[in-house]
Structure 1
Amino acid sequence: MGRTGLWLVGARGSVATTAVCGLLGLRAGLVPPTGCVTELLDADLPPWDSLVVGGHDVVSTPLVKRAEQLARAGVVPAELLGPVSAGLREVQANLRDVPQGAQVEVAARLVADLASFRSRHDLERVVVVNVASTEPPVDPHPAHASAAALEKALAVGETVLPPSSLAAYAAFKAGCSFVDFTPSTGVALPALAELAAVVGVPYAGRDGKTGETLVRTVLAPMFTARALRVRSWAGTNLLGGGDGSTLEDPAHASSKLRTKASGLSALLGHPVTAPLHIDNVPELGEQKTAWDHVLFEGFLGARMTLQFTWTGLDSALAAPLVLDLARLLAAAHRAGRVGVQGELGFFFKDPLGSTEHGFAEQTRVLAEWAGEL
């Protein structure tokens, strides 16, 4: 297998920087692959040392400085900074600013950046992964309905795509597979699904499942398997860092809240009262805390509760999954898979191409799919 490119949209963010530091540490044998699901799969995947990283971002913070910030926050081990600093500077040389202008011009620049990256590093294929900040939902537009309508709208200078969807469009036009790790609109438009099929590339998404929702997908099937009826499932999320400030805006938070709540009724088999709140607590920094209160009913109508608290460093939970998805989509592309890869729903809160939310079943499906590659 030739070398594989990993192109990160939001390349200087916390998740991307953590993923890059982890990848460099894995290559050097300095860290174990803890949290990397692909290490558990019986599949022919690109080795760690074959991954070459580049990306786009709207900010210009050097990766070394960003890694230092994450080390102070307890996400990246401080002792790893020295050994990976040269590698971070190499990745830094592959990063590009997000171009400005009419969307048709921006798309052309994005495609050119991807083509140049692939050519300069002699890459067999490139996987584009969106780990940028969450966007608010977008209103439907006629150009979203088909690839032809989208191309026509862009050609006459219309602004019809949110940044996440423009990144997916550019990835497909450059012949790259695409992963949407965010709850933004991204690739979830009929026009982009059609374009992926025409170009012949796979994609997957959306919204990486790393914390509270992961626990829900494990616990909810327990209630249904034991014939216990959940009456309500309330959740509160306390976030710091960039996520906290972004999701403090109700318009941005609505995208995250929708994907977090999307699977609960499906898992329980009936509608359930499920209020969910996200609060920005800047003092938490990179840490995220979720508290859930589950009210359920047992034999003879007895009312009982389950409560759990999940506290974690979200970037450390998300980063290995980003690396996993890059390896898996590269292998899927090589195997000739085209379009949405619903079998990768294991990784997502709102899995495209799948209605399955139960974690055990998602795990089984992923293992079978990966083995077939």
Structure 2
Amino acid sequence: MSDVPFANGAPNLSVDLPCMIELAARRGVPIAGKDFKTGQTLMKTLLAPGFKARMLGLRGWYSTNILGNRDGEVLDDPENFKTKEVSKLGVLDTILQPESYPDLYGNIDHVVRINYYPPRGDNKEGWDAIDIFGWMGYPMQIKGRLPLPRLDPGRTHRARLGAVP
């Protein structure tokens, strides 16, 4: 261990091992993170607390990211996508607490996708379709599109995904 702080920007469990946590604590080296949350998860962590604060119910949330670089190609494989999917699916339960508010959040259709589309290149695009309901169950929809320029100019993010040697 080189005693350098580590922030995990990828949705993997590289430092979620008891031995790594113990070693970092013993050496006084901070470790943190599971994902930098720049697309789908960012939208969810911004909007879901507002829904909860206003007691707006959520019927469903469909979200997709479009990636054209090697990240998208790697995540196009179901095995590689699994940890990313788990991370993205868990964020709404953590924020909305469906066990405490079952009428509002107990039966959400939550779909997460990442699509590989080579023309997108190193840019990333997120789309969201959100179905909420308000007073007396009045249905409403929110549609969102978040185009993001290349956020990682180096190879480090792709290397963490195992996409480059």
TM-score (norm 1): 0.37
**CA radius of gyration, larger in:** 1
Q: Which of residues 265, 286, 300 in structure 1 aligns to 2:93? A: 265
Partner of 2:146: 310
Task: Give the conservation status (yes or no) of the 8 Å contact 2:56–2:133.
Answer: yes
Partner of 1:291: 127
| 1:170-204, Cα deviation, whole Å (9 max, x unpaired) | xxx22222111111221111111111112221111
Task: Give the conservation status (yes or no) of the 8 Å contact 1:211–1:314.
Answer: no
Task: Give the conservation status (yes or no) of the 8 Å contact 1:233–1:293.
Answer: yes
Match of 2:109, SS state, is coil
Match of 1:209, SS state, is coil
Of Structure 1 and Structure 2, which has the larger fraction of its residues in strand? Answer: 2
Instruction: Give the structure, 1 or 2, with the largest relative contact order (CA under 8 Å, sep 6 or more).
Output: 2
**Superposed CA RMSD:** 1.9
Match of 1:255, SS state, is helix
Q: Which of residues 117, 131, 152 in structure 2 aligns to 1:281? A: 117
TM-score (norm 2): 0.81
Task: Give the conservation status (yes or no) of the 8 Å contact 2:39–2:65.
Answer: no
**Whole-angstrom distance in 2 between the partners of 1:315 and 1:227:** 34
Residue identity opposite 1:208 in structure 2: F
- TM-superposed deviation, 1:314: 4.0
Alignment of 1:74-93 (within 5 A): none
Alignment of 1:206-285 (within 5 A): 206-270=34-98, 271=106, 272-285=108-121
Of Structure 1 and Structure 2, which has the larger fraction of its residues in helix? Answer: 1
Partner of 1:38: none
Partner of 2:103: none
Which consecutive unaligned segments of at least 5 residues does structure 2 have? 99-105, 158-165
Q: Which runs of 4+ in 1 moved over 6 A?
A: none
Residue 11 of structure 2 corresponds to residue 183 of structure 1: yes
Which consecutive unaligned segments of at least 5 residues does structure 1 have? 1-172, 323-373
Task: Give the conservation status (yes or no) of the 8 Å contact 1:286–1:313.
Answer: yes
Residue identity opposite 1:223 in structure 2: F
Partner of 1:73: none
**Whole-angstrom distance in 2 between the partners of 1:193 and 1:260:** 23
Identity %: 35
